[in-house]
Structure 1
């Protein structure tokens, strides 16, 4: 990946994408001419932006598929790359994601056609009423989900602020992260209020950036003398079911059940459980979503996430280090790149190359990437002899 930046501070999307792709190829030890297919993810961009980025590396005639799955776009590109290799359709595939974002909250790009989140908005408004003018759209969903948890379990919503503090501590050791200055719980809570329990310092920033990964078959790696010490042990993508819309639960509306299902499939396929996981990169677009995802991934039992945070089980010295990169909250969230940036961090962790962020005794690493609308991708990486 390349260092993430604030909007207006980055290169154009195609140059960022080309840079991340070159870094991935160099890391893998192959040339672009050896890549047989490419899946390129972005949310805000014209069709064939993927070709625009990759043509900087050459015009080799390979299939280039452009992917858009909201905030899960990067890991959706990775999911497609893995499927292409696993099926035998290709031996070496590039997954690339990038985003050149504008400042400010996410907004709909088109107002002359049905809103893709229309059904979600209907449920949201029935549950918690119409949001006021000027409230960021995404915050109304994730803030509402946090409120639902507070109401059910009677916790102090100030616990969410501790996640922002933890995020900044982790990001301080990540040269790729946007926000590395430390904050206190008091500073987080006193930041401008956004929605529900969320303040500004509990919301991920719009960010520009790019990340990429090379996925190849074991045979390809052996044939070309490539390192093969990190593998995708299992992966699952899920989309919404009836429970998203019929439950009247804001937590389910933002993908809780999708995450439960995807994680369950991954654990079953790999023959491991959450107790085997020492490091996780999960989709902390808002502090409330990180909090809820502790439980949806099975890292802690339902109703115990508050204690999980208060005991420090989500950081170094605890049970599972969550978002050692700083996560979306501090590293940044360029939508199309996020899933592949999570991949990069976890591969570095498994290789022992994460520097001051390194988690001890990492054998498995778990990734969770969520997109409203909706899609959830959970990926389990494993360290093997290779």
Structure 2
């Protein structure tokens, strides 16, 4: 899987692997040098630094974050960000049971408010956050289910999606119960897959004549947990709300844009609950009004934003190490006008959100780096500073297998 994704990214950029100066490789379940093993006999043996990355569900975007820092800091002109995962069937399991669970303090917060059930832990944490949102703001079960219905519908146009079947709202609501109101079709599946991105400096892009394809990382922020995660008996905060809110604030501030300037969004919908909570954390609507945003259809084609046109984690799948880079791939295709039937018309500014409990969130803003070369001079009117052109990079390609199911 890593070979397929890596070779497709190199082919898209039109460069040999020998041009790559460093690689950041992400995966969650595996031994310490899986990155080397994945690259050595699929892409090449050139002696470059290969950094293995693990940041729970935000591993893919963390690899992207690290590779971007290498380029921005002038330590490399070209870097590869690669992510992959081969997962066990069923819910996520603790791999080292004799060691402390890194989420033990997070779970303690949840237990203090809602107790501990026999259901898998991840749906409990996010399900209880959804329960808290309903208690506080009156959000309905149908509003959560509409998000899953929307994402499954979007996936029918994505050939890379693990599931490409449309379901009715009633089917979403009546599918098998996973935890309280969270049904199977509102949960991301167990997945296998890989994705990759080639990142290059502006000089590198010009050297290889890649201006017509190059997508710019305009702003990118990684944020980890604040004390509020543990000091408050608050399950919404527990699943990363404060991290996301701060990362988004920093990104919008650095880029000089507002949420309303964004056209297309790929966000971390591990469960329908998290997509709804993230609308508010990203500033798409005031706190407590995400349900209204859903009912208005402002999260799909014809609304204010198209959110998860790929089908999101719920349909596209969630191979932990690859997810962040697969989101990146989708947004690059959208900005380049290469998304086929799921293309968001006139997409100029894209936002990515990838979160891992324990915890880390990465929020990234993208636009075409050289819109005039891409034949889209209208993009110049967006008003984003081009002072960060050293972060320009080539789009990635995911390669998901369709073997495992939830």
Q: Say whether the fold is shared (TM-score over 0.5).
A: yes
The corresponding residue for 1:81 is 67
Deviation of the 1:229 alpha carbon: 3.6
Matched, 1:101 2:87: yes
In the alignment, the residues of structure 1 paired with residue 355 and residue 139 of structure 2 have an alpha-carbon distance, to the nearest angstrom, of 25
Count the aligned residue pairs. Answer: 369
Match of 1:118 among 98, 104, 117: 104
In the alignment, the residues of structure 2 paired with residue 72 and residue 125 of structure 1 have an alpha-carbon distance, to the nearest angstrom, of 24
Structure 2: stretches of 5+ with no match in the other structure: 374-406
The corresponding residue for 2:10 is 25
Matched, 1:263 2:248: yes
In the alignment, the residues of structure 1 paired with residue 5 and residue 276 of structure 2 have an alpha-carbon distance, to the nearest angstrom, of 30
The corresponding residue for 2:76 is 90
Matched, 1:149 2:142: no
- Equivalent pair of 1:276/1:364 in contact (CA under 8 Å): yes
CA deviation profile, 1:65-106 (whole Å, cap 9, x unmatched) = 000000000000000000000000000000000000111000
Deviation of the 1:312 alpha carbon: 0.6
Using a 3 Å threshold, how does the CA distance of structure 1 residues 46 and 176 change in structure 2: closer, same or farther?
Answer: same
Instruction: Write the mapping of 1:219-230 to structure 2, written as runs, cut at 5 A.
Output: 219-227=203-211, 229-230=214-215
The corresponding residue for 1:291 is 276
The corresponding residue for 2:395 is none
In the alignment, the residues of structure 1 paired with residue 133 and residue 198 of structure 2 have an alpha-carbon distance, to the nearest angstrom, of 39
Q: Which secondary structure does the structure 1 equivalent of 2:75 belong to?
A: coil
The corresponding residue for 2:345 is 360
The two structures, once aligned, show a CA RMSD in angstroms of 0.8
The corresponding residue for 2:24 is 39
Instruction: Write the mapping of 1:159-308 to structure 2, written as runs, cut at 5 A.
Output: 159-227=143-211, 229-308=214-293
TM-score between the two structures when normalised by the length of structure 1: 0.94
Using a 3 Å threshold, how does the CA distance of structure 1 residues 32 and 229 change in structure 2: closer, same or farther?
Answer: closer
In the alignment, the residues of structure 2 paired with residue 118 and residue 194 of structure 1 have an alpha-carbon distance, to the nearest angstrom, of 21
CA deviation profile, 1:98-149 (whole Å, cap 9, x unmatched) = 0001110001011111110010111111010121x2x111001000000000
Q: Which moved more, 1:95-104 or 1:183-192?
A: 183-192
The corresponding residue for 1:343 is 328
In the alignment, the residues of structure 2 paired with residue 185 and residue 159 of structure 1 have an alpha-carbon distance, to the nearest angstrom, of 10
In the alignment, the residues of structure 1 paired with residue 228 and residue 246 of structure 2 have an alpha-carbon distance, to the nearest angstrom, of 12
Q: Which moved more, 1:149-158 or 1:85-94?
A: 149-158
In the alignment, the residues of structure 2 paired with residue 265 and residue 25 of structure 1 have an alpha-carbon distance, to the nearest angstrom, of 31
Match of 2:305 among 306, 315, 320: 320
Deviation of the 1:179 alpha carbon: 1.0
In the alignment, the residues of structure 1 paired with residue 176 and residue 334 of structure 2 have an alpha-carbon distance, to the nearest angstrom, of 35
In the alignment, the residues of structure 2 paired with residue 378 and residue 153 of structure 1 have an alpha-carbon distance, to the nearest angstrom, of 26
TM-score between the two structures when normalised by the length of structure 2: 0.90
Match of 2:38 among 39, 48, 53: 53
- Equivalent pair of 1:167/1:327 in contact (CA under 8 Å): yes
Q: Which secondary structure does the structure 2 equivalent of 1:158 belong to?
A: helix
- Equivalent pair of 2:205/2:214 in contact (CA under 8 Å): no
CA deviation profile, 1:10-42 (whole Å, cap 9, x unmatched) = xxxxxx111101000000110000000000000
The corresponding residue for 1:6 is none
In the alignment, the residues of structure 2 paired with residue 109 and residue 155 of structure 1 have an alpha-carbon distance, to the nearest angstrom, of 35
The corresponding residue for 1:137 is 121
Q: Which secondary structure does the structure 2 equivalent of 1:50 belong to?
A: helix
In the alignment, the residues of structure 1 paired with residue 133 and residue 139 of structure 2 have an alpha-carbon distance, to the nearest angstrom, of 8
Deviation of the 1:279 alpha carbon: 0.4
- Equivalent pair of 2:163/2:316 in contact (CA under 8 Å): yes
- Equivalent pair of 1:18/1:57 in contact (CA under 8 Å): yes
In the alignment, the residues of structure 2 paired with residue 352 and residue 384 of structure 1 have an alpha-carbon distance, to the nearest angstrom, of 14
CA deviation profile, 1:215-262 (whole Å, cap 9, x unmatched) = 100001111222354100000000001011111110000000000000
